[in-house]
Structure 1
Amino acid sequence: MAALQNSLPSLHHTLFLNAFPQKGLQKHHHTAFLCCKRGVSVRVKAEQSSSAAASSSSSHFQDSCGRRQMIAAGITAPLVSIVDRTSITFAAETKKGFLPVTDKKDGYSFLYPFGWQEVVIEGQDKVFKDVIEPLESVSVNMIPTNKQDIRDFGSPQEVAETLIKKVLAPPTQKTKLIEAAEHDVDGKVYYTFEFLTLAPNYTRHALTAVSIGNGKFYTLTTGANERRWSKMKDRLLTVIDSFKIFNV
């Protein structure tokens, strides 16, 4: 664990914003994407105005679904078409309801729920989030390491507790580790863990996967508001289970 403790300053710099997915600085790589982002604001506003004019019998759930359908159809498709394909490719086939990301430069891949939007948050390599439920997000981060195996940093529980307390949650929030486990995929060891972070006005239920490859310590974290955990659990588990590291 001493090796992991020594890595904490760099880990803290690159991962700490995972605890604040709703407050991250949103920027985009391309001018065309910025135009698309402005289009998002207009379309969401138009949808909200239309909803306000609708009859009082329309439920919040129907409004939310309508906005999600609009976002999925009007935002995600153009987003996919303009992402930098030199480092990310979107496969033709994937699990229903998900889109794949493969970063050929950094050597990792994962799935994320259809309808989530890519944003850029300083200090994180890749972030996708739901524009309506900001606590629903997935992020990937990396730092250099001279270790060859995640087990060199300690047991799953030791690594999980250290990262949760020192990196994945701010010191002002209470945390609770629910479960930590180890599994092997194609000869590579991954640690996965489930935990809660308790803020004054919300509780986030999160899942994290960590592994080592290509001289890097990889961390993928996804989660949702506790009130939506039962609805999002299976989708978030799919995100975690899909995370793979490959040699580059």
Structure 2
Amino acid sequence: MTTHLLLRRCCAPPAIAGVRRPDRRRSLNPPIIPNIWRRRTLILLSLSPIPTLIPVAAQPSPEDLKPYADRAEGFELLVPEAWTKVEKAGATALFEEKGKGSNNIGVVVNPVRLSSLRDFGSPEFVAEKLIQAERKKESTRAAEIVKVGERSNEDGIPVYEFEYVLDSTRGGIKRIFSAAFVASKKLYLLNISHSDPPESPLDDHTRFLLESVLRSFDTAH
């Protein structure tokens, strides 16, 4: 999760490295926040393309996604219904596609000195730093930014979003979707990774599903 490492190194306070992270066992089965059900439908509607361009069958339905909320850490998002939650050191939450662990959705939350992600830089600035870091890895063959964007949540908090293609000796060609925001002196980072090789490219349904996850990443309401 290069996005996580990049922003964490730049934003984390020096003293935080020796602080033990809180025990999150109490949030393994966090309560679901009702508002995310309404937002799930709105997100899907906003992502729906012109019907004449994409077959209706390829578009995701509300039943394809389930809400997940972590009140202890203060974030929520939608995840594919068939994906399962797994435990991994360093990840606040991690979901994997059954039988395809390289297709995953991860969230990391870390304390920072910033009050807003804009204090770190613009979306374009962060995207450039992200790609530079990816290209410096020995395992990287190529890395190219596809999209850079910014949105604001209901509280006016800016959320940066990125999409890029990564060709690596570790897993081949992947499509990466990332989102980041800062709230209450915490840096929230979402990283979605999915295989996207030329012989089996990302289909429309899966793309819209993953974009729905990306757009749903937010503070808990």
**1:182 corresponding residue in structure 2:** 150
2:168 maps to amino acid? A
Q: Structure 1: which 5+ residue stretches go unaligned?
A: 12-28, 31-82
Residues 106 and 144 (structure 1 numbering): CA distance in 2 closer, same or farther, change over 3 Å?
same
Paired residue secondary structure (1:96): helix
Residues 214 and 6 (structure 1 numbering): CA distance in 2 closer, same or farther, change over 3 Å?
closer
1:182 shift after superposition: 1.1
Residues 6 and 228 (structure 1 numbering): CA distance in 2 closer, same or farther, change over 3 Å?
closer
* Alignment root-mean-square deviation, CA: 3.0
**1:135 corresponding residue in structure 2:** 102
**Aligned sequence identity (%):** 21
2:31 maps to amino acid? T
Give the alignment partner of residue 211 of structure 1, picking from 158, 161, 181. Answer: 181
**1:194 corresponding residue in structure 2:** 163
Q: Which has the larger radius of gyration?
A: 1
Note if contact 1:190-1:211 (Cα within 8 Å) is conserved in structure 2: yes
Give the 5 Å matches for 1:214-233. 214-226=184-196, 227-231=200-204, 232-233=206-207
Give the alignment partner of residue 234 of structure 1, picking from 208, 211, 219. Answer: 208
1:124 shift after superposition: 1.0
Note if contact 1:165-1:171 (Cα within 8 Å) is conserved in structure 2: no
Note if contact 1:198-1:204 (Cα within 8 Å) is conserved in structure 2: yes
**1:108 corresponding residue in structure 2:** 75
Residues 107 and 164 (structure 1 numbering): CA distance in 2 closer, same or farther, change over 3 Å?
farther
2:202 maps to amino acid? W
1:233 shift after superposition: 0.4
2:177 maps to amino acid? L
Note if contact 2:33-2:220 (Cα within 8 Å) is conserved in structure 1: no
1:121 shift after superposition: 1.5
1:235 maps to amino acid? L
How many Å separate the matches in 2 of 1:150 and 1:129?
A: 27
**2:217 corresponding residue in structure 1:** 243
TM-score after normalising by structure 2: 0.69
**1:118 corresponding residue in structure 2:** 85
Paired residue secondary structure (1:124): coil
Note if contact 1:150-1:211 (Cα within 8 Å) is conserved in structure 2: yes
TM-score after normalising by structure 1: 0.62
Q: Structure 2: which 5+ residue stretches go unaligned?
A: 13-23, 41-61
Residues 236 and 197 (structure 1 numbering): CA distance in 2 closer, same or farther, change over 3 Å?
same
Note if contact 1:8-1:166 (Cα within 8 Å) is conserved in structure 2: no
Paired residue secondary structure (1:135): strand
1:244 maps to amino acid? D
1:8 shift after superposition: 2.1
1:234 shift after superposition: 0.3
Note if contact 1:116-1:129 (Cα within 8 Å) is conserved in structure 2: yes
Paired residue secondary structure (2:100): coil
Residues 165 and 8 (structure 1 numbering): CA distance in 2 closer, same or farther, change over 3 Å?
farther
Aligned residues: 174
- Give the structure with the larger strand fraction: 2
1:10 shift after superposition: 8.0
Range with greater deviation from structure 2 (103-112 or 177-186): 177-186
